[in-house]
Structure 1
Amino acid sequence: MTTHQVVFLLLDLALVIVLARLLGVAARRIGQPPVIGEVLAGVLLGPTLLGEGFTAALFPPDVRPFLAVLANIGVAIFMFVIGLELQRSQMRGQGRIAATVSVGSILLPFALGAALAFQLIRNHPVENRLGFTLFMGAAMSVTAFPVLARILADRGMLRTALGGLALTCAAIDDVLAWTLLAVVVLLSGSGGPGMWLLLLCPVYVAVMFGAVRPLLGRLLGRDAGLTGTKLALVVAGVLVSAAFTEWVGLHFVFGAFLFGVVVPREGTEALRAALLDRVAEFNGALLLPVFFIVAGLRVNLSTIGWTGVVELGLVLLVAIGGKFGGAFAAARAHRVPARRSAALATLMNTRGLTELIILSVGLELGVLDRGLYSIMVVMAVVTTAMAGPLLNLVYPRGLVERDQREAVGRSEIRAR
């Protein structure tokens, strides 16, 4: 690296950290998830408002590859955290209703997104029409598990029946959405040195669960503390797993996610909590803000024109209507009260950072052009920002307090 690159990289990192933190705090003060402010920080520094010239001066083209590397590492660590937070007991503990709501909140937006792709492809021609169609369906089907969990925690709903059901549905949605994206990646033909390498994926999954998971249990479960050696072992494992799935042509996010899933749950509760605290905090303070900036530099809403505005309206209609309608109808089919069904459907509409990662994958694969990518980023921000205010409307504080009392009552009964 030249002196020029080092200087700009360090200054850009300082700017990114401070601005993302300031806007994240501002978003929280108005009742929004911090991710909203952090995403807006990236868009504000991008060409939408400042223009290509000013953005290029602030983030020189020869520095951006280094920022992209840091952003990719941040995404890999974030995907590991998502995998680490998933609880298999959650996904099997709510019975048929969670499975039905999850499938409903995936199938309807997927179908509508795939149908919308036939309209969008007129203005956004792509080489792989099938890949584009499936990608649009998958992008419309996402629910952001981490953001949803934060919304529930802020409202005191984590231990209520509705909060538990929402978390379960979001966890299942995450697995289904990443599976759909994996299919899109395979069909896009982007894969690495040879498609035959993809045959190694089932073997790799089997090795991860059959050999790596027991090995991690022995290495990490000897005591409750998180030592520097254990932290280094986990981070190295995440990067190796991510590198493997990238090498075979899938994408590095899947390897990082899988490593988080295979970390043993039994006997490692304290260690996993310490991992989430230390790794997630560092990642959120430095690496993820870089991802937001890199994502924002790719957004340029000043060039989409009226056609883009119409497309944005269609995307929002499909994304919000499909997700809400699928989850609401599935919940009502199980005789969940209307208000509770509406609240669940509202929560399932939260997309957040998970959506941004999927959109970045689509841009890298060539499935999205910059115009449609910009539109989809706006959709991710809008659907995340609307969750809190809409939840206050359909499920006011009085109902939440009632659910909290019911949860306390159930706990007291179990304690007896």
Structure 2
Amino acid sequence: MVEAAGIDLLNLLLVLTLAWIFGLLVERVGYPALMGEILAGILFGPALLGLLHPSETLDVFAEFGVFLLMIYVGMEVDINDLFELGPQALMVAFGGFIVPFGLGYLVGVFIGVSIEQALFIGIAMAATSLATKSRILVDLDILDTRIAGVLLGGALLSDVGVMVVFTGVMSFVETGNVTPLGLGLVVGEALLYFAAALVFGNRFLPYVWSGMEDWMERHRFVDKTSAFTVALIVALIFAFFAALVELHMIIGGFIAGLFLRQAQLEPDIYEHMYDVMYDLAMGLFAPIFFVTIAFDLTLDVFTDSLGLLVLIVVTAFLSKILGSWLFTLPTKLTSREGLVIGFGMNGRGTVEIVIVSIALSAGVIGEELFSILVFTAIFTTALVPPTVKLGVEWLERSGELVFMDDATLEVE
């Protein structure tokens, strides 16, 4: 047991060290650190050198890392800005879901797989990754721009939509049919969660914080660490109830972060909480997540199923950009902003990997299709940082990078 613990510790040490080194290297050439972290996972993970390997310890740390990252990102975003950008975010989420899902299903029909497998190909293509987009927006320092607000809102709504459809498809796989009542219950549970989170976070959470601060002041017990612990407990409560209605825990973390920002804490307590959340997420746990998502990549698909791999990757890449861009055209976003948002929506990351892993364990898809869809998730995720970076620079040159505090901001 001691030897096993030592191996796990060495594995963790190597993951963190390589993530830090490769993150610094890619930052030196002007790209976000997560690109280097994913590259480290591919080069030194099971796909190539095999120096790094999956473990339960890494899985736990990676899950906690993406959770902390989402809390931090929520603390960076003003919920009022998200509400103002709601129509644009909804259009992006709808376009970014319906076009890839439809084309993915048609690809499945074209290659002759079963209806269940075709549906999973569609869901995998429609998936997006709120966590990946959030890290990229943090790395590029553009969380206070209009495209960031639309991207976060669109990714959040898209994640919810994908989870709802995924639940419906799993019901179809398990029972052979899916009833309108069953799907309606899934949608209703998700809507109920968001309504309850909004009421609790907006109406009751500020009183919780106020009461806690009064109690600490009366007992001369002003402990910033305790305030951080309470914040983490609140975030875990949001995540727990998200999981109860079959939403991903990161959605709960993001929403908790939104309301922590609105809680009107004492500035020094909030700043301490914010700094600790940033250091834990960006300096320790999140890099583990971005290294380990590359562990599921199998390079055999390049020799055994190259044609199918290219077809699915190209369809996934183009359909997400096209769908997101087309549905921003009726809004007051510019065409360039819509295209850059399409680039940002294109990364699938953890959401697709979770979905196809469940499909594999349920026996719906085989290892070949699983590997192809995992590579699609990693490939599209890896392309998001350079494409969004180039897109942001393009918007800056054209004078169309709009900041949320810009007096000229117009929303529907």
Q: TM-score, normalised by structure 2?
A: 0.75
- Mean Cα deviation higher: 231-240 or 259-268: 259-268
Who is 1:283 aligned against?
A: 281
Question: Structure 2 regions of 5+ residues with no counterpart?
Answer: 175-181, 215-221
- Mean Cα deviation higher: 168-177 or 95-104: 95-104
**What is the identity, as a one-letter code, of the residue corresponding to 1:135?**
I
Cα distance in 1 for residues equivalent to 2:235 and 2:251: 10
Is 2:71 the counterpart of 1:90?
no
**Displacement of 1:69:** 1.8
**Displacement of 1:264:** 5.9
Superposed CA deviations along residues 171-222 of structure 1, whole A, max 9, x for unmatched, are 221222111232144232599xxx9x97876665555443465442123346
Who is 1:371 aligned against?
A: 371
Equivalent positions of 1:10-409 (< 5 A) are: 10-50=9-49, 54-55=50-51, 59=53, 64-94=55-85, 99-119=90-110, 122=113, 128-129=116-117, 132-139=120-127, 144-150=132-138, 153=141, 163-164=145-146, 166-187=147-168, 188-189=170-171, 205-211=194-200, 214-221=203-210, 227-246=224-243, 249-263=246-260, 265=262, 267-268=264-265, 270=267, 274-301=272-299, 303-306=300-303, 308-333=305-330, 341-350=335-344, 355-366=348-359, 369=367, 370-388=370-388, 390-391=390-391, 395=394, 398-399=397-398, 402=399
Aligned-residue CA RMSD in angstroms? Answer: 4.1
**What is the identity, as a one-letter code, of the residue corresponding to 2:48?**
L
Cα distance in 2 for residues equivalent to 1:204 and 1:331: 27
**Change in 2 beyond 3 A, CA 1:325/1:250:** closer
**Change in 2 beyond 3 A, CA 1:316/1:343:** farther
**What is the identity, as a one-letter code, of the residue corresponding to 2:28?**
R
Count of aligned positions: 381
Q: Is the 8 A contact 1:208 1:262 kept in 2?
A: no
Superposed CA deviations along residues 362-383 of structure 1, whole A, max 9, x for unmatched, are 1441256441243223322442
**What is the identity, as a one-letter code, of the residue corresponding to 1:310?**
G
Cα distance in 2 for residues equivalent to 1:244 and 1:323: 30
Q: Is the 8 A contact 2:123 2:162 kept in 1?
A: yes
Say which SS state the counterpart of residue 345 (structure 1) adopts.
helix
Q: Is the 8 A contact 2:76 2:261 kept in 1?
A: no
Q: TM-score, normalised by structure 1?
A: 0.74
Cα distance in 2 for residues equivalent to 1:385 and 1:95: 24
**Change in 2 beyond 3 A, CA 1:410/1:391:** closer
**Change in 2 beyond 3 A, CA 1:3/1:120:** farther
Cα distance in 2 for residues equivalent to 1:204 and 1:105: 23
Say which SS state the counterpart of residue 348 (structure 2) adopts.
helix
**What is the identity, as a one-letter code, of the residue corresponding to 1:15?**
L
**What is the identity, as a one-letter code, of the residue corresponding to 2:377?**
V
**What is the identity, as a one-letter code, of the residue corresponding to 1:183?**
V
**What is the identity, as a one-letter code, of the residue corresponding to 2:23?**
G
Cα distance in 2 for residues equivalent to 1:251 and 1:407: 29
Cα distance in 1 for residues equivalent to 2:396 and 2:202: 42
**Displacement of 1:226:** 8.0
Superposed CA deviations along residues 247-287 of structure 1, whole A, max 9, x for unmatched, are 66554334434433444625249465543432132122222
Q: Is the 8 A contact 1:242 1:255 kept in 2?
A: yes
Say which SS state the counterpart of residue 305 (structure 2) adopts.
helix
**Change in 2 beyond 3 A, CA 1:292/1:137:** closer
Superposed CA deviations along residues 94-127 of structure 1, whole A, max 9, x for unmatched, are 57556545543443333323433434673xx79x
Question: Structure 1 regions of 5+ residues with no counterpart?
Answer: none
Cα distance in 2 for residues equivalent to 1:206 and 1:392: 34
**Displacement of 1:3:** 0.5
**What is the identity, as a one-letter code, of the residue corresponding to 1:359?**
E
